[in-house]
Each structure stands twice: as C-alpha cells, then as structure tokens.
C-alpha cells in the first residue's frame, strides 16, 4: 500500500525549485522591494533613529539623540564611545549594559567658565546612580555653550573618562545632513 502523495511514477505539478523561487519573490516584495516602495514612496529616505528618538523626547527639530554605553567586567569599567561630537540642542543618553552601579560625573575643574556655569544652571553635573541593567541618564544639551565636556563614569570597576565635544547648534530652519 502506498502512502498518500506522490508515488514513484507521478511527477510534481511544478518543476523542482519553483517553490524556492516563489518564496524569494515574496521575500523581495515584503522586505522592501515593491511593497516597501508602495508604503514609503520611491526614494523616501529611511527614518533616522537618532532624530526619531530625539523627537520622542521633545528635543528641538533637527536635534539628535546620541548614546554612550556604560559597562564593565572584572576590575575594568568601559565607556563606548569615549569621545563624542554633538551639537548644542542634541542630547546624550548614557545607558548601562551590566548589573553594576554606575555614576556619570562631569568635571567642573576641567570646564571653561561658560560650560561650568551652564552645567550648574542645568543641574546635570552628576547622574543619579544607574543601578540596573538598562538604566539611563539623559544629558540634554539645550542651549549648551560649545566646548569640551569631560566626564568620568564611575562604578564598581573603577573609573573611565570620556569627552563630549559640543559644536554650535542649528539655527532655526537649518536641517542636518
């Protein structure tokens, strides 16, 4: 008795490999081919995640959200990146990727007077303790004077230094590349 389906003498309706070809065609349609053009329009730029996140946080139009990752292993503390160039009006999100306690502290003695005064007025000189994995500290740079903002990330693994270099901000109506 033969199981249901093809016997040794019958041939499939479609030639071998056509199923795979149909799957690839479907994947092309769904993955940004024809359907992607229909949904977003031809030539529509992909969304900028930094700009979308900044808009969700209520930052000025054209502002971006940048990220600094804090972590550690053993006796080492890690900050990635240690150097970040931003514009006045942007924001920097410090995010923990481990279960250590981290604190971000800007160094007033290493700041020039305008940056130090702005940091005092903004009340952002030191983060609260970032206790859990995924904890975040948002450093908003609205009206921040251009210049270098050195910081220390301290945790159970020691200290790691970094610098945020703030460039002049955008003028009203000016877009960003």
Whether residue 177 lies inside any domain: the answer is no
Phi-psi region of 17 (alpha: psi -120 to 50; beta: other; left: phi over 0): left
Rounded to 5°, angle at Cα 4 from 3 and 7: 75
Among 40, 147, 26, 128, CA closest to 88:
147
Whether residue 68 lies inside any domain: the answer is yes
What is the number of domains present in the chain?
A: 1
Residue 139's domain spans which residues?
49-167
Whether residue 30 lies inside any domain: the answer is no
Whether residue 107 lies inside any domain: the answer is yes
Whether residue 147 lies inside any domain: the answer is yes
**SS3 call for 125:** coil
pLDDT, tens digit (0-9, with 9 covering 90-100), for 124-164: 999 999 999 999 999 999 999 999 999 999 887 678 999 99
CA–CA dist 98, 166 (Å, integer):
28
The model's pTM: 0.67
Specify the CATH number for the domain of residue 113.
2.60.40.420
Whether residue 9 lies inside any domain: the answer is no
Whether residue 87 lies inside any domain: the answer is yes
pLDDT of residue 46: 75
CA–CA dist 14, 9 (Å, integer):
15
Whether residue 116 lies inside any domain: the answer is yes
- Work out the burial of residue 155: count CB atoms within 10 Å of its CB; fewer than 13 is exposed, 13-18 middle, 19 or more buried: buried
pLDDT, tens digit (0-9, with 9 covering 90-100), for 99-131: 889 999 999 999 999 999 999 999 999 999 999
């Amino acid at each position: 008795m033969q199981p249901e389906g093809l016997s040794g003498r019958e041939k499939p309706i479609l030639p071998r490999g056509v199923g795979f070809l149909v799957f690839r065609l479907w994947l092309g349609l769904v993955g940004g081919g024809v359907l992607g053009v229909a949904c977003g329009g031809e030539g529509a730029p992909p969304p900028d995640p930094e700009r979308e996140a900044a808009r969700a946080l209520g930052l000025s139009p054209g502002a971006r959200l940048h990220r600094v990752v804090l972590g550690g292993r053993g006796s080492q503390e890690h900050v990635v990146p240690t150097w970040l160039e931003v514009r006045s009006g942007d924001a920097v999100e410090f995010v923990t990727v481990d279960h250590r306690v981290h604190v971000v502290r800007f160094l007033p003695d290493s700041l020039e007077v305008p940056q130090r005064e702005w940091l005092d007025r903004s009340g952002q000189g030191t983060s609260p303790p970032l206790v859990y994995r995924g904890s975040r500290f948002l450093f908003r740079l609205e009206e921040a004077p251009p210049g270098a903002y050195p910081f220390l990330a301290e945790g159970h693994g020691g200290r790691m230094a970094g610098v945020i270099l703030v460039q002049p901000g955008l003028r009203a109506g000016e877009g960003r590349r």
